[in-house]
Amino acid sequence: MIFLGAVFSLPVAAENVRVHGKVSDEANKPVEFATVRVQGTAIGTNTDLKGDYSLTVARRDTLEIVVSCLGFKNVRRKFIDPKGEITLNVKLYPDEQLLSEVEIVGTSNRVNGMQDIGTESLKLSPDVSGGSVESLLATQAGVNSSNEMSSQYSVRGGSFDENSVIINGTEIYRPQLLRSGQQEGLSIVNPDMVGNLRFSTGGFPARYSDKMSSVLDITYREPEAIEGSLSLSLMGGSLSFGQNSGKFSQLHGLRLKKNNSLLSGLEERGEYDPLFFDYQTNLVLKPSSRFKISFLGNISLNHFNFKPADRETSFGTSENIKQFRVYFDGEEKDRFQTYLGALSADYRISGENTLQLGLSGFITDEFVSYDISGEYWLNQAGTGGEGAIGGELGVGKYMEHSRNRLKASVIQGFLKGNTRLPSNSLSYGVTLTRESFRDRTKEWEWRDSAGYSLPTVPDAVHLIYNLSSRQDINTTRAAVYLEDSYY
C-alpha cells in the first residue's frame, strides 16, 4: 500500500508548471511592477523592484504568457505542452504613439479686470440659502467661504469686510453686529432679480470703491413683459413680480426664510426661532430714449431668537478622546433691521458719452441681547461602549451677558460720466459720503472653575472679560477718480 501511494503521488506533483524570469527594458534595466499573467485566466503576478517574477499554473496543452506595463508594448509568449519549470526573460520596448494635432480655442469675457459670471444655474446652486450669489463666488479662484450658512466670503485670505458689493451702481452695506452665520439669514442679493453679474478679485477699476480685496458688481434686470415666479420650501419661500410697459418697468422680489429645522441639527441643541424677511424693488422710468430714472429699494427685517438647552462635543485623537458637555439656561434675542433707497438719473449725451447723477440712503438698526449661563463637564471618554465615561477632568460654569446696539445711517451722492474717444475711453466721477454711527456696547463673561472665579483674585470677583463703550462717530468723505481705458 505504501508503494502504490508513492506511484499515484508522482502524477499529482507533475501537474503544475512554474514560470519565472526577469523583465527588463531595452537598456537592460529592470522593469518594476510589470504585470505577468496567463492568458484566459485570472492567474497573474507583478515584478518586484529587481524585475523578477514567479508564478505557478496548472499544466495544460498550451500556455500563453502575457507581459504588460504602462508605457511599453505588450509581449506574448506561447508554450506547447509545457512541463516542470520554465524560465522566461522578457525585454519590453516603449510604446510610442504619434498623437494628432489638437487645437484649443478659448474666449475671454473679462473686461477691465471684471469677470462675467453666468447666472443661468443660480437657483440650482447647492447651498442652504437656496441659490445665493455668494455660493457661485466660492467656486472662483482665491475665494473662500468658511461657513455655508453665511453669505460672507474672503478673497486671498483677506478680511470679510474688504469686499465691495455694488447693486445698480449703489454700494451695499451689511449688518455689523453679526457673530455667526445662523444670525445672518438672507443674502442682500435677490437671485430672482439678478440680470448681470460681474466679479473681480483684484485689478478692478477705481470707480467701484476703496476696498482692496474684491468687488461684486450686480445689475438687476428689467422685465420684458408681465412675469412672475413663486417658490416654496420647508424653510420659506420667494415671490417675484415684474412688468414692463415700454417707458416704465418694475420688478419686485419678496423672500421669507425660517430655517429652524436646519439649525436644530447643530451640536448646540435648543429652541431655534429665526425669521428673516426681505423685500426689494427696482423701478425704471424712461421719459425718452436718452434719459432714464431708476430707483432701488430694500427692506430687510431679521429676527433671531434662541433658547439653548445643551451641547456635547467630542475631540482629541482616536486613543485620547475627550467629551465636553454643557447644560444651558437663558436665551438670546437679536434683531437686525436695514433700509436702503437709491435714486439715480442717467443721461446719454451721444453714443457712449453718458452722465449719471445719484443719491442713496442706508439705515440700519441692530440689537443683540443675550443672558446665557452654562454648567460644563470635561471628561475622559471611556471604552466601555457608546457614552461611557473614563473619568472627570474638570467642571465649571459661566455666564454671558450682552446688550449691544448699533444705529447707523449713510447718505451718499455721486456724479459719474463716461466719454468715448477714438482710441480710448475716459471715465470720471466724484462721490460725497456722510456717515453717522451710534454704537452702544455692554458685554461681559464670568467664569467659575471648581469653585474659583477666573481670573482668581483674593477677596474679589473678576470677569474674564468686560466690554463697555459709548461711541458716536460722524464722518464726511469725498472721493474723485479718473480712468483712461484703451481699446
3-state secondary structure of 372: strand
Q: Please give the pLDDT value at position 124.
A: 63
Query: 2 or 159: which carries more pLDDT confidence?
Result: 159
- What average pLDDT does the segment 103-131 reach? 67
Q: Please give the pLDDT value at position 93.
A: 93
**CATH class of residue range 2-92:** mainly beta
In the predicted structure, residue 185 carries a pLDDT above the cut 90: no
In the predicted structure, residue 85 carries a pLDDT above the cut 50: yes
Q: How do strand 353-381 and strand 62-68 relate by DSSP bridges?
A: unpaired
Instruction: Flag the least confident range among 132-141, 225-234, 401-410.
Output: 132-141
Instruction: Give how far Cα 345 sits from Cα of 166, 168, 356, 438, Å.
Output: 17, 12, 6, 31
* Residue spans per domain, the chain: 2-92, 111-486
Q: Please give the pLDDT value at position 129.
A: 61
Band the pLDDT of 112: cuts 50, 70, 90: low
Model confidence pLDDT, tens digit, residues 240-298: 999 999 899 999 999 999 888 778 777 778 888 899 999 999 999 999 989 999 999 99
Band the pLDDT of 239: cuts 50, 70, 90: very high
Q: Please give the pLDDT value at position 143.
A: 84
The pTM of the full predicted model, rounded to 2 decimals, is 0.70
Phi, psi of 149 (to 5 degrees): -90, -5
| Radius of gyration (C-alpha) of the chain in whole angstroms | 36
Instruction: Flag the least confident range among 373-387, 419-433, 466-480.
Output: 373-387
- What average pLDDT does the segment 6-10 reach? 43
What mean pLDDT is reported for the chain? 85
Distance CA 476, CA 433 (A): 6
Query: 310 or 226: which carries more pLDDT confidence?
Result: 226
Q: Please give the pLDDT value at position 68.
A: 94
In the predicted structure, residue 13 carries a pLDDT above the cut 50: no
Angle at the Cα of 57 from the Cα atoms of 55 and 63, rounded to 5 degrees:
105
Angle at the Cα of 194 from the Cα atoms of 190 and 199, rounded to 5 degrees:
100
Cell numbers at 237, concatenated: 419661500
Instruction: Flag the least confident range among 5-19, 77-91, 330-344.
Output: 5-19
Query: 340 or 137: which carries more pLDDT confidence?
Result: 340
Distance CA 484, CA 59 (A): 84
Phi-psi category of residue 376: left, alpha or beta, with phi > 0 → left and psi -120 to 50 → alpha: beta
- Amino acid (one-letter) located at 37: R
